[in-house]
Structure 1
C-alpha cells in the first residue's frame, strides 16, 4: 500500500493510467456490478456515520470539559468513556461511569452541523442506561479487550449498530494523532460484536501496515488535488477510506484490484475500471 499527494493534473492522469500493482500480495476476487454498487453504497453510509459519531464525541467532550464535576470525575477515574446514539434531535453523546454496570453521568446532543444543541448537562444522579445504551457500552468495553497491532498510542472508538439491519454492533478502532497534517489511516480496525455487546464475532484490519498519509503544509494546500492510496484488501474502497477522507477534509483517490476511485465529500465515484474487471 502506498500514498501520495496529487498536486497536478499530470500526476493525476498518471495515476489513472497506471495498472494496479499488487506487489506479490493476493488480490481480492473479482466482483460483479451489483456487488460493487452495494459495496460502495454501504461504504458511503457507514463512513459518513463513523465520521459524524466521531465528530459528535469530540464536540461533546469539549463541551463537558467545561463542567467542573466532569473534570473531577475524570481525575478520580470515575468515567468509563462514552457512547453515541443517533436520535431525531441529533447525536446524543452519553458519558458513562466506570462501574461494572455503567450508568449515565453526563450528556450532550450534537447537531448534524457539529454544534451542541442546548447545553451539556451533568445528571443530578447517575441514571440507568436504556437497553440500547447499555449494550452499546458493553460493546465498547468488549472492543477494549481485543488483541490487535496498534499503530498509535491513542485510539478513538466509534460504536454503531450493525449495518444492513443486522443485529449486533460494529465497533471501529481509529488511531489518533497529534501530528499536524498527518492522516493516520494505518491501524484502523472494525470489530463485529454480537447483540449483547459481549462477544466479538469477527475482527478485520483495513490495512496491512501503519501507513499514514500526509497532507501538505497550509501554504501548499491549494496546489493539492487529492491524496492517493492503493488498497489491497478489498476490490472497492471501504467505509474507513470514506471516514478518513471526510476527517482530512481532502479528496482521496483509492486504487484497488477493480479500478481507480475518487472519494469526495463522502461520495465514491469510479475514475477508471481495470480492463480485467470489465470482461
Structure 2
C-alpha cells in the first residue's frame, strides 16, 4: 500500500483516473432497505480471517481444476462440495459426493502451496463426524441466505470459529464473466458445532455492488467503497484485495481505511490533514 497515492486519490475524488468506476447490480430505482448492523471484529481479526479465506478459496479452486481434469463428467455431477483440512505437507481438499442419508467421501487432492497433487479416491468409506458437521453447516448456511442475492451461484468458505466450538461459513458472490469485482452480496454465518443451527447471520453489504476493474496500466489503481453496515472494513474486503491485488479505500461513518492485502490502516487523520 502506498499511503501517499491513497491520499492523493481521495483528494481528487472519484474522478481520479486511479479510481475504478463502480456499478450496482440492483437498479437505481430499486429502494434499498435500511442497513442492518453486523457483528464487528477487531481489525487484526478481520485481516487474519480475510487472509485465511483467501488461502482456503485458492486451494479449493485449484484442487477443483485438478479434479475436473481427472474424472468423468458423470462423476463430477455427483460432487456436492468440499472440505479442507491441514495436513503435514499442505492442505487436503476432500470432495464429497451425494449419499444416503449422509454425503460420502469422493476424492482427495493435497495442495502444496499453489501446486495440486494427484487426485486420489478417498480411502475412508464415510466422512468423519467433524466432516459431516462441516458439510451440514454448509448446507445450513445455503438454506438460510437472506433476500439479497447477487448471483445464481455462490462460492463457499468454511473454517473453525476461533471464538467458539462452531463454524464460520461464508456465502460469496463470485466474480462474474465480465471480470467486475463483487464488493457486495456476501454473507457470514456462525453455525453450531453440529452444523444444524444458524447462530448468527451477517449480511456484509446492503446491496449488490460490482466494481469495474481499473484501466490496464493505471498507476497505483484502487477502489473506493462506502461501508454502511459496519464502522470498519470486513474480512471479505481483505479477501478481495488479496485476490485482485488491488488496494481498497473503505469509508465507514466518518473514518477512512486502506485495505492493501492483509494490511489494514486507519488513514482518517492523514486524510483530514490534507
- Determine if the TM-score, normalized by the shorter chain, exceeds 0.5: yes
Alignment correspondent of 2:142: 144
Matching residue within 250, 256, 270 for 1:254: 250
Contact 1:237 1:261 in 2 (8 A): yes
| Matched residue SS, 1:241 | helix
Contact 1:73 1:79 in 2 (8 A): yes
Q: In the TM superposition, what is the alpha-carbon distance from 1:188 to its structure 2 partner?
A: 0.3
1:1-279 maps to which residues of 2 (within 5 A)? Answer: 10-14=8-12, 39-69=42-72, 71-75=73-77, 78-99=78-99, 100-111=101-112, 113-116=113-116, 118-123=117-122, 127-148=125-146, 149-164=148-163, 166-218=164-216, 221-257=217-253, 259-273=255-269
Distance 1:211-1:127 versus aligned 2 partners, 3 A rule: same
Contact 2:169 2:189 in 1 (8 A): yes
Q: In the TM superposition, what is the alpha-carbon distance from 1:132 to its structure 2 partner?
A: 2.4
CA deviation digits over 1:239-267, x for unaligned, max 9?
Answer: 11111111222111111125211111211
Contact 1:154 1:177 in 2 (8 A): no
Q: In the TM superposition, what is the alpha-carbon distance from 1:144 to its structure 2 partner?
A: 1.9
Q: In the TM superposition, what is the alpha-carbon distance from 1:186 to its structure 2 partner?
A: 1.1
Q: Which blocks of at least 5 consecutive residues in structure 1 are unaligned?
A: 1-6, 16-24, 30-35
| Matched residue SS, 1:12 | helix
| Matched residue SS, 1:223 | coil
CA deviation digits over 1:33-79, x for unaligned, max 9?
Answer: xxx9x61011011111111111111000000112234x32124xx22
Q: In the TM superposition, what is the alpha-carbon distance from 1:28 to its structure 2 partner?
A: 6.9
Q: In the TM superposition, what is the alpha-carbon distance from 1:274 to its structure 2 partner?
A: 9.6
Contact 1:156 1:176 in 2 (8 A): yes
Distance 1:27-1:189 versus aligned 2 partners, 3 A rule: closer
| Matched residue SS, 1:139 | helix
Provide the C-alpha distance between the structure 2 equivalents of 1:173 and 1:195, rounded to a whole number of angstroms. Answer: 18
In the superposition, the TM-score normalised over structure 1's length comes to 0.79
Contact 1:157 1:174 in 2 (8 A): yes
Aligned length, in residue pairs: 248
Contact 1:189 1:203 in 2 (8 A): yes
Provide the C-alpha distance between the structure 2 equivalents of 1:27 and 1:82, rounded to a whole number of angstroms. Answer: 31
In the superposition, the TM-score normalised over structure 2's length comes to 0.81
Contact 2:6 2:249 in 1 (8 A): no
Q: In the TM superposition, what is the alpha-carbon distance from 1:206 to its structure 2 partner?
A: 0.7
Provide the C-alpha distance between the structure 1 equivalents of 2:270 and 2:76, rounded to a whole number of angstroms. Answer: 52
Alignment correspondent of 2:25: none
Provide the C-alpha distance between the structure 1 equivalents of 2:206 and 2:136, rounded to a whole number of angstroms. Answer: 28
Distance 1:189-1:128 versus aligned 2 partners, 3 A rule: same
Calculate the aligned-residue CA RMSD, in Å: 3.0
Distance 1:155-1:28 versus aligned 2 partners, 3 A rule: closer
